[in-house]
Structure 1
């Protein structure tokens, strides 16, 4: 599987517009924060002007009017305190807004993922998705937390400083204004060069997460097959590539962020000092004006430096947003209802009509599959690995769209049913049952409040899971760890049976439901399976042929086609593929049960 690749790279303008759209619900809070930010910046900008007044009007002429100086000092300290208060308020406000927005983005991305088709997950590593929902959205958060406030504050401060400069000396301010195009060009060059580097860096983070996720899930196989060295070398290689990308980023920052801005600042200082030096030849120079101008110049480049530093975070956020929005724009959606008739599944009749299917759009894995499962009948699917059994189940569950042909339930196309109707009336039990972290009753109920405790216990008793649940320390409140690791495979399967029966489905889909259960447990639940199938249409994939001998019809698949069909006895009498499979299994079972085996 490979990293997600959006159909086309989103433009920066489009990405920024989509990010800005998330701010609309918070526009009142944002406007308030911006106003407070502007007031705080104005308070800070006024400081040098007050000092200039003190130097030129009081210190230089030795005019020590202590009352006036005290008022000036009081105003200076008051403005400083106001600046501190305003800065605190806007910092808290921007962070609150940022966390609200990131929470919404994460919910939107997670919601989108839940509605993507299985075809998407077939080609997408789980670790890559985790990286997009966590790492990339965390990077986007910095856009709202620090970048946005820094740029607004920087722009307000630059405007205020330029106004102060023009107030002091129009000609020199115009000279300094010529530096702005140079700074803008520097920022544009940095943005373009850093974009590619950040894309590589974020992709490597996704690959690291994907490898880590795969390794953790397959740790037992890695250790059993002594693959630790190979996985460590592979992980090390990806880590080195991530290191190289980050190193390129650091070199770029080291060249174009602080050093380049400091060089422009040096040129500006030389310009100001040269201007006042030449001016001193023709007349006196006010020391306060010189101080104020140098102070303003220093303050002028302070927000520029901050904006350049934040440009790194801005670029990272934009790249991360492109990746997140690329995922949100993914069109590989799960098949859903077509039309507005909203039919109901009442009888549970299933019919496949000349169904063909391909996962990649090129090679068919099913060819002209046709069969009918009448209400209450059990249809068993058998065949070697890769014969197409699971593909039929996937289509029956509407996990994938049909390429050609038609699937009917109660004479209605499967596409006509709503997701809720289809999921409520079609129960699925997989070979590898999945349990969620929580407790036993939550795994049976799955947070559906309409399923009562009595119905949970009744379903557990029905599949003979109640006996082992009652022996647990917490019984139905017994904690369940991740993937149900503390339960045996048989116990996990019994809980999945109870989960299915608690919903009382009209159709049962069993994907080798007893393959992972020991013989003793299997014997105990065969009776339960028989009760589960009674009155319900059942489609069952069978690994052990002995478990489906009572099926109403057995379909034998080979290379995506139905090559034989009939009940157990009729298929044996044909002496075809089913007969050979049966003999092989009988021989294997006899050999395994032999005392000398």
Structure 2
């Protein structure tokens, strides 16, 4: 009962996927109709070829009657049909291919666009390699559906119908006998489709796991080599690869059995039926050699499209599985939080308020608990605490990377959800610990896609003192930056991220351990740049080095998701609580007898 229920659900899911795949074709209805018309003409030309040969054999060759006029017409007709078939087959195939490529281009844009607007919750729960596999390998498999399977199924189906039309024209009885083969072929197709779907589903899953493991290995190669994890990773990769190979071998065995042996056996049965029919008929009547030739020719042509359909079924099954995964991505509702309402307020002062905010990533474990604080315009509020205390989560909520479920966040007295994305991204500047650089040049990485002039780019770079190293580059602001800015030092990348932020002149500045990964010499330049950036702006800063936030207007000390202490640097030192212990530990002057475990 359960197996039947699963089968029905799978069948409904496949039908739903097919409807969505066909829906993508509807944007190209005119081109599809034209291609379909050319296919009909090409198929008709193919079908009438054997009929002309039948006329030649029975009416002229067998009786040895060779009048030049009719024979010339027959030859011209045969050659003309061949030329029409070749010409229209070329154009219909070209048309179907163009339609397929246009469809898959649109689908890839849809998938990529959807990914851009998914929330960080999705990326937290989805391995990067698996996501890459969906966008590349799965869409490539769907492309093969449109490019290969679509034209093959349509052309083969029309060819089979055309062949039966030709058979009925020649001999109704023999055509009816050949129809007996259809249930056998339909059964083979159904069995193959049922078996291959399971095999290819497993194959796609294992390929996705391979990509995920490969992506993880490449991302962490330095750590793998440093910790001597090469053998473990190779063993894990080998296990997934072996599972993938096993699934592929099942596919090979299935194809060898169903696509060749089984179909050829049905072909032999059909051939024996035709020869037996003419053999029995020869006892009482003269056999028409032309009809015999035409039927055998039709039988050969009949099994060509059948074989084509069977061979394309494996691609069809792969495409269905891949389409299911791609549509699952397109239907994913874990979207990035968006504006609620139509008020669209503006950020003018930069006042930030957290009111009783409690937050959980998984809906079970609270990462933040009853967080309440206010950052007044122009003030600097520093967040400190041990790893996992919730500092970055506060930043994530302020940037609206995650929705606030319990509590409220206000900017200038307006609820955070009422602001548009453009207003938040343009008026809140974010500087992360690890600055991401895009492939392009220096100016492009400062400007990004914003409407920022060259003068404004240079002014922003000069403001944060990034111009000092940019001017020394061979091509200055047109210096090419490779992937992730690997040719630049961490300090240079950080200064570029500062310039990128200042180019938009934000009202609120968010710093996520902006100096944690730079050397002491570079830190001085960065601290100088940060001091200038903070002037006249509300600043929320996560501090790794406590010495960098001693001048903060307010320091919030977090522990296990709660604010346990708050005040200025001096007032917190006087309390001799958690902040005092962290500060003493960093400066190597832990008071005698004081223990962090107290």
Contact 1:10-1:322 within 8 A present in 2 as well: no
The CA deviation string for residues 431-484 of structure 1, in whole angstroms up to 9 with x for no partner, is 011001111000000022x20001101110111100000001110000000000
Shift of 1:108: 0.4
**Structure 1: distance between partners of 2:418 and 2:12:** 35
Report the secondary structure of 1:431's partner residue. coil
CA-to-aligned-CA distance 1:536-565 (integer Å, 9 cap, x gap): 111000000000000000000000000000
What is the aligned partner in structure 2 of residue 488 from structure 1?
A: 489
Q: Kindly report which structure 2 residues correspond to 1:4-153, keeping only aligned pairs within 5 A, or say none.
A: 11-153=13-155
Please list the CA deviations of residues 49-74 of structure 1 after superposition, one character each: whole Å capped at 9, or x if unmatched. 11100000000011111221121111
What SS does the aligned partner of 2:516 have?
Answer: coil
Q: Answer whether contact 1:143 1:313 (CA < 8 A) is retained.
A: yes
Cα distance in 2 between the residues matched to 1:437 and 1:385: 32
Structure 1 match to 2:395: 393
1:268-323: CA deviation from partner (whole Å, max 9, x where unpaired): 11111111111112221111111111111111111101111111111111111111
Q: Deviations over 1:552-593 (max 9, x none)?
A: 00000000000000000100000000000010011189xxxx
Query: What's the TM-score once normalised by structure 2's chain length?
Result: 0.96
Q: 4+ residue stretches of structure 1 with deviation over 4 A?
A: 7-10
Q: Is the 8 A contact 1:366 1:560 kept in 2?
A: yes
2:262 paired residue number:
260
8 Å CA contact 1:10, 1:326 repeated in 2: no
2: CA distance, partners of 1:283 / 1:357 = 90
Give the aligned partner of residue 203 of structure 2.
201
Q: Partner of 2:593 in structure 1?
A: none
What do the CA deviations read for 1:341-382 (whole angstroms, capped 9, x no partner)?
111111111100110000110010110000001111110000
Q: Mean alpha-carbon deviation: is it higher for 200-209 or for 387-396?
A: 200-209
In 2, Cα distance between the equivalents of 1:528 and 1:318? Answer: 54
1:410 to 397, 409, 412: 412
State how far apart, in whole Å, the 1-side matches of 2:307 and 2:86 are. 21
Could you say if the C-alpha distance between residues 557 and 162 of structure 1 is closer, same or farther in structure 2, counting changes exceeding 3 Å?
A: same
Shift of 1:23: 1.0
Three-state SS of the structure 2 residue aligned to 1:257 is: helix
| Structure 1 residue 167 corresponds to structure 2 residue 141 | no
Deviates more, 1:238-247 or 1:520-529: 520-529
Which of 182, 199, 219 is residue 221 of structure 2 equivalent to?
219
Distance 1:8 1:476 in 2: 56
Provide, for residues 494-531 of structure 1, a one-character-per-residue CA deviation record: whole Å limited to 9, x for no partner. Answer: 00000000011110110000111111111122122111
In the alignment, the residues of structure 2 paired with residue 206 and residue 20 of structure 1 have an alpha-carbon distance, to the nearest angstrom, of 25
CA RMSD of aligned residues (A): 1.5
Query: What residue number does 2:296 align with?
Result: 294
Aligned with 1:330 (options 321, 329, 332): 332
Count of equivalent residues: 583
Inter-partner Cα distance in structure 2 for 1:10 and 1:115: 29
| Partner residue, 2:480 | 479
Report deviation, 1:82.
1.5
Q: Distance in 2 between matches of 1:422 and 1:9?
A: 45
Given that 1:9 and 1:322 are in contact with CA atoms closer than 8 Å, whether structure 2 keeps it comes out as no
Alignment-derived partner of residue 365 in structure 1: 367
Task: Report what 1:155 is aligned to.
Answer: 157
Following TM superposition, by how much is the alpha carbon of 1:243 offset from its aligned partner in structure 2, in angstroms?
A: 0.5
Q: Alignment partner for residue 432 of structure 2, among 430, 433, 436? A: 430
Question: Residues 36, 386 of structure 1: CA spacing in aligned structure 2 closer, same or farther, 3 A cutoff?
Answer: same
Distance 1:262 1:157 in 2: 19
List aligned pairs for 1:547-566, cutoff 5 A: 547-566=548-567
What's the secondary structure of 1:486's corresponding residue?
coil
Question: Equivalents in 1 of 2:150, 2:383: separation in Å?
Answer: 59
Aligned to 1:452: 453
Matches of 1:578 and 1:567 in 2, distance apart? 11
The aligned residue for residue 340 of structure 1 is: 342
Which deviates further from its counterpart, 193-202 or 173-182?
173-182
Could you tell me how far apart the structure 2 residues matched to 1:528 and 1:380 are?
17
- Taking structure 1 as the reference length, the TM-score comes to 0.96
Q: CA deviation at 1:9?
A: 9.6
Q: 1:378 aligns with which of 355, 377, 380?
A: 380
- Residue by residue over 1:232-290, the C-alpha shift from the partner in whole angstroms, topping out at 9 and shown as x without a partner, is 11111111111111111111111122211111111111111111111112221111111
In structure 1, C-alpha distance between the alignment counterparts of 2:61 and 2:12, rounded to whole Å: 59
The residue that corresponds to 1:273 in the other structure is 275
Q: Could you tell me which residue of structure 1 aligns to residue 542 of structure 2?
A: 541
Q: Distance in 1 between matches of 2:457 and 2:569?
A: 35
C-alpha distance in structure 1 between counterparts of 2:223 and 2:214, whole Å: 14
> 2: distance between equivalents of 1:121 and 1:329?
15
Once the two structures are superposed, residues 170-213 of structure 1 have per-residue CA deviations (whole angstroms, 9 ceiling, x without a partner) of 11211211221221121111111111111111111111111111
How far apart, in 2, do the equivalents of 1:571 and 1:386 lie?
A: 21
Separation in structure 1 between the aligned mates of residue 91 and residue 46 of structure 2, nearest angstrom? 15
